[in-house]
Amino acid sequence: MAKQKILFICTVNRMRSATAHKLYENDERFEVDSAGTDRTANVVLEEWHLEWADAIVVMEKQHHNKIRDRFPQWYGEKPIVCLYIPDEYVYMQPELIVLLREKFEDVYERGLLKA
């Protein structure tokens, strides 16, 4: 069975989405990538990221809105789920890892990542 392609998005792709990417990069269920919405992001979100992904996971509502505003042709084409994780953690912080796993697994188990 093909792995589901998950794109994790935050603002600068250094803390939250980078941690999520690291946590799930070897998960047999998924193929993952990550990007940031800000022009200073480690990996800046581009149209090809959205085209590649089966589902998009954002950390805050503002990221959802930026996708809608910047890439209206992709908005509504793929499931976009918000984890509501604020920008107050550092890369691989234990509390962030727990929060990401709890929220992402809940979203996955509830089937919210399916088109």
* pLDDT, tens digit, 9 for 90 and up, residues 20-44: 999 999 999 999 999 999 999 999 9
Question: Is position 29 within any domain?
Answer: yes
Does pLDDT of 75 surpass 90?
no
Q: How many alpha carbons fall within 13 Å on the CB side of residue 36?
A: 16
* 65 pLDDT above the threshold of 80: yes
pLDDT at 115: 74
Q: What is the pLDDT of residue 76?
A: 86
Q: Rounded to two decimals, what is the model's pTM?
A: 0.96
In a domain, 30, yes or no: yes
Q: Taking the CA of residue 73 as centre, how many other CA atoms within 13 Å lie in the half-sphere pointing to its CB?
A: 5
Is 114 part of a structural domain of the chain?
Answer: no
Q: Which token pair is 6?
A: 């998950």
Range of the domain at 63: 4-109
Give the number of domains in the chain.
1
C-alpha–C-alpha distance, residues 84 and 68, integer Å:
17
The CATH number linked to 73 is: 3.40.50.2300
Q: Residue 35: its pLDDT value, please?
A: 98
Q: Residue 2 has what pLDDT?
A: 86
Q: Report yes or no on 115 lying in a domain.
A: no
Handedness of CA 76, 80, 82, 87 (dihedral sign): negative
Closest listed residue to residue 58, CA positions, set 42, 89, 80, 77: 80
Tokens 């929060």 identify what position?
99
Percent of the chain's residues with pLDDT above 90: 92
The vertex-36 CA angle with 30 and 41, nearest 5°, equals: 130
pLDDT for position 23: 98
Reported confidence tier of residue 74, pLDDT bands at 50, 70, 90: confident
- Domain assignment present for residue 50? The answer is yes
Contact 37, 63 (CB under 8 A): yes
Give domain status of residue 63, yes or no.
yes
Residue 18 in tokens:
């980078």
